[in-house]
Structure 1
Amino acid sequence: MNKLCCFFLVLTLAFLNTGCKSDAKSSEEKVEVRFNSALENRFQKLVDYPVVADNFPKGMSLNPEEVRTEPSRDWTSGFFAGNLWLIHKLTGDSTYKTKAEAWTVLVEDQKENDRTHDMGFKIYCSFGEGLKQDPNNQYYKDVIVESAKTLITRYNDSVKSIRSWDFKKDVWDFPVIIDNMMNLELLFEATKISGDSIYHNIAVQHANTTLKHQFRADHSVFHVVNYDTISGVVKTKDTHQGFNRNSTWARGQAWAIYGYTMSYRYTKDPKYLAQVEATTKFYMEHENLPKDGVPYWDFNDPEIPNAARDASAAAIVTSALFELYTYTHNKTYLDFATIVLDTLNSEAYLLKETVNGPFILDHSTGNWPKNDEIDEPIVYADYYFLEALTRKRNLDLK
């Protein structure tokens, strides 16, 4: 029998290990959370990783076996702290919380970095996860609001969007990438914390502009839309990480599905929900989506079925669909997400127990056009996988 099915760690927890119970559960009832031994082993690899400033784990080359790290200014720096926060939420083990707090503090220096649109990834995936577990932590609140204040300096009222990148100024005047939808959560939360509506309003403007210009007629997504800074009109539509400008980059689809599901959470705008469902349908029913639900890095790579997979895209979509199910009660989303989550949480995608790197999933693709991080562990795949586990657990508690 498969080793993953033979050995289980059974953790008996109260909801979030705080003594709080789901309304649907009696105050005496316990909740059993099961992790297979391989997943528990991967958790331990994360908590064992030493806390060193500007040494944030990003990915791992398995040949040779080497952890790739980045400084706090990299867009991925917030995910490792977020992973530790999420593991603490899943297990209730305070060791993970202690490590999460230590890594979170190291990202604070980014709160005034106005050269990046990735403030949400960096700050909300670290400080935001911490605030969810410590909702009265004023320090976390202050950092989130200060970071949102920095982020909106990149907003252009003519374009009605937040600028994504500052490089390639000879090619793009005002580039906006679909990934930028993910950073809006920071803005929505900053308004909830501060009471200042400016953050919420800018997030809505950005989401509306992206909705109008970033999607194709078939509900697939352009990666990059370039705007004129004065008139706000679209100049070009392109890709930076997909196979070509007309292809469907899998993680771009994932960002869109997650980004508009999250935006619907804060606005309840029906056009966001309609777009999410249309884009999800495109994704789930695409002829090139493998049977296990883990996409090739680009749906139009001519090397399919020999193209690289992207477990990170699968994890992002899976997490989003658990949330989307709560708004639509469409069991198709729940069933699909459950199947893909089980696939990721299996021998086929979990990083081997013998690998010492602080990662959980294998087989993600970072930046194929640059031949960078191909078929390797990547920190943000772990983050959305852990979030999906948490969301599935929360659904099971209801």
Structure 2
Amino acid sequence: MAVSSLLLLVTLYATQAAQAAVPNELFSPLIPQKVLTTSESLPSPIMYPQYTNTWNVSNPGKWQDFIPDTWTSGFFPASLYALNTRKNLCGATDANALGTADWLELARSTSSGLIPLEHNNTNLQHDVGFVSFPFSEELLVNPQNQTAKDAVNAFAADLAARFNAVVGCTRSWDTPDPTDFTVIIDNMMNLEVLWASYALTGNETLKDIAITHANTTMINHFREDGSTWHVVEYNSTTGQVIRKRTSQGFSDNSTWSRGQAWAIYGFVNMYNHTQNPDFLQTAQRAATYFLDNMPSDGIVPDFNAPLVPPPRPADSSAATIAANGLLFLSQVDASQAEKWSSAAVQILSNITTLAWDPSWQSLLSNGTVNWPADNFLTGIVYGDYYYIKAGNTLIEMGTNASTSGCDTTGTSASSSAGAAGTGASKNAASRQLPSFSLPRSLQDLV
């Protein structure tokens, strides 16, 4: 592409980003209504929604539930905490439907199903960080909650035990060959549990592990253009890199968009904790690649995958994670704050137009769980969580979302559903492209 054409493209994108409006659906009354319905439908013994069935079945958009010992189990309780936060930000009115439930009580009760995992998990491996999210949220509400403290510290100890000083990383997936030390870009998100436990205990080792892991990832997971490999395999005895590949993307040389989104958020978070300018620069590079390679119709699961064949479906979860990372980046990078926040709003606007579907149990459709495993065109619990979280952040930042987010002027559940339904129908062609028992007393959480 000629330089002049590239500059024109960048200018057009910047103009679009600056003009993007915060989508009303981000604050729709359907959000608390849908989340409450899901909460009331959780089975006993408790299981957690992870993704829905796909649009091309007879009854699409229905949550599929999984046992607590699953890496995604913390996202639904965290969504309940996020709605409690929104209720505190906005108050509860008939228009915003936030008064339909006691979100804090629901968040605490559903989080109780995760408590046994702090000392008895077989499948979580490095993803104890994601599962710890609800307990960190609880500590923001009640910093003296001992159950939440114990959970955060136990999960952090689990992750720290997976650290290899020779490699300089925490191990992600266990492998039959113990010398094959696998690290995925997602692990940048799990480092937060180390920081949370460090804040509680003052254990310097936890901080040092997080910094060392980020430094190693910065060196080995990034290409020169700011894109990332999903998986890096090391030799555990020498620390040498054996192989760089993908597990969920199109090919080893492609860039998996959700992994790129994890990288943006993860390195912004590391900069926020350390003020290390290298981490900020890495986050900026990851964000720039993401924006420069984003197609006009949404977010794709592989930036380098061919359009056809096969069709390249969007990943709404990559969109919402990236939007949160960009909003976070705008808060720590004052010199480019407008650029990052405007881009985040543009992404949220694009993915809402494509994936908002009132008929589904999830908030968004068009998620890609795992492209090679043929698991796409679904709703995804972490995509929904980051959609709610982005709305909260926009309100906290005092953007023009504040009015629509808290007052929902002129918006009702029925009118929102009708408007969104029109959009869902309009984008159908795009989608065709490809009371339960608690393990521990609730009293421990209050």
Which whole-Å CA distance do the structure 2 matches of 1:193 and 1:303 have between them?
Answer: 48
SS of the residue corresponding to residue 394 of structure 2 reads helix
Give the equivalent residue in structure 2 for 1:27. Answer: none
Change (3 A) 1:103 1:336: same
- Counterpart among 361, 371, 375 of residue 364 in structure 2: 361
Cα displacement string for residues 301-351 of structure 1 (whole angstroms, at most 9, x for unaligned residues):
2125941100100100101111110111211101111222234445x3223
Which whole-Å CA distance do the structure 1 matches of 2:170 and 2:148 have between them?
Answer: 23
Structure 1 residue 51, shift from structure 2 partner = 5.4
| Structure that is richer in strand per residue | 1
Q: Does 1:120 align with 2:116?
A: no
Which whole-Å CA distance do the structure 1 matches of 2:370 and 2:37 have between them?
Answer: 25
CA contact (8 A) 2:314 2:366 kept: yes
Give the equivalent residue in structure 2 for 1:12. Answer: none
Cα displacement string for residues 333-388 of structure 1 (whole angstroms, at most 9, x for unaligned residues):
01111222234445x32232x33x3x21111100111112x111010101111111
Listed as ranges, the gaps of 5+ residues in structure 1 are 10-33
Structure 1 residue 40, shift from structure 2 partner = 4.4
SS of the residue corresponding to residue 53 of structure 2 reads strand
Give the equivalent residue in structure 1 for 2:223. Answer: 216
SS of the residue corresponding to residue 57 of structure 1 reads strand
Q: Does 1:75 align with 2:71?
A: yes
Which whole-Å CA distance do the structure 2 matches of 1:114 and 1:205 have between them?
Answer: 26
Structure 1 residue 37, shift from structure 2 partner = 3.9
Give the equivalent residue in structure 2 for 1:376. Answer: 378
Cα displacement string for residues 3-31 of structure 1 (whole angstroms, at most 9, x for unaligned residues):
xx9xx89xxxxxxxxxxxxxxxxxxxxxx
Deviates more, 1:151-160 or 1:299-308: 299-308
SS of the residue corresponding to residue 238 of structure 2 reads coil
Give the equivalent residue in structure 2 for 1:84. Answer: 80
Give the equivalent residue in structure 2 for 1:45. Answer: 37
For 2:175, give the aligned amino acid: F
For 2:305, give the aligned amino acid: D
Query: How do 1:221-370 residues align onto structure 2 when only pairs under 5 Å count?
Result: 221-286=228-293, 289-292=294-297, 294-303=298-307, 306-329=311-334, 330=336, 331-346=338-353, 348-352=354-358, 354-355=359-360, 357=361, 359-370=362-373
Query: How do 1:80-159 residues align onto structure 2 when only pairs under 5 Å count?
Result: 80-92=76-88, 93=99, 95-112=102-119, 113=121, 116-123=125-132, 125-159=133-167
Change (3 A) 1:302 1:151: same
SS of the residue corresponding to residue 248 of structure 2 reads coil
Which whole-Å CA distance do the structure 2 matches of 1:133 and 1:339 have between them?
Answer: 31
Structure 1 residue 44, shift from structure 2 partner = 3.5
Give the equivalent residue in structure 2 for 1:177. Answer: 184
Structure 1 residue 114, shift from structure 2 partner = 6.7
Listed as ranges, the gaps of 5+ residues in structure 2 are 1-20, 89-98, 403-446
For 1:118, give the aligned amino acid: D
Cα displacement string for residues 153-186 of structure 1 (whole angstroms, at most 9, x for unaligned residues):
111111111000013649x700000001100000
| Structure that is richer in helix per residue | 2
Deviates more, 1:202-211 or 1:113-122: 113-122
CA contact (8 A) 2:299 2:351 kept: no
Which whole-Å CA distance do the structure 2 matches of 1:56 and 1:161 have between them?
Answer: 29
CA contact (8 A) 2:184 2:231 kept: yes
Structure 1 residue 204, shift from structure 2 partner = 0.6
Change (3 A) 1:304 1:261: farther
RMSD of equivalent CA atoms: 2.2
SS of the residue corresponding to residue 126 of structure 2 reads coil
SS of the residue corresponding to residue 242 of structure 2 reads strand
Q: State the aligned residue count.
A: 358
For 2:226, give the aligned amino acid: H
Which whole-Å CA distance do the structure 2 matches of 1:110 and 1:363 have between them?
Answer: 30
Which whole-Å CA distance do the structure 1 matches of 2:330 and 2:72 have between them?
Answer: 28
CA contact (8 A) 2:149 2:200 kept: yes
Structure 1 residue 36, shift from structure 2 partner = 2.7
Which has the bigger relative contact order, CA under 8 A and spacing at least 6? Answer: 2
Change (3 A) 1:71 1:114: closer
SS of the residue corresponding to residue 370 of structure 1 reads coil
- With structure 1 as the length reference, what TM-score do the two structures score? 0.85
Identity between Structure 1 and Structure 2 (%)? 32
SS of the residue corresponding to residue 135 of structure 2 reads helix
Cα displacement string for residues 246-267 of structure 1 (whole angstroms, at most 9, x for unaligned residues):
0011111001101101111111
Which whole-Å CA distance do the structure 2 matches of 1:82 and 1:334 have between them?
Answer: 23
CA contact (8 A) 2:42 2:48 kept: no
For 2:140, give the aligned amino acid: K
Cα displacement string for residues 195-244 of structure 1 (whole angstroms, at most 9, x for unaligned residues):
11111111111111111111011110011111111111111111111111
CA contact (8 A) 1:114 1:153 kept: no
Which whole-Å CA distance do the structure 2 matches of 1:249 and 1:263 have between them?
Answer: 21
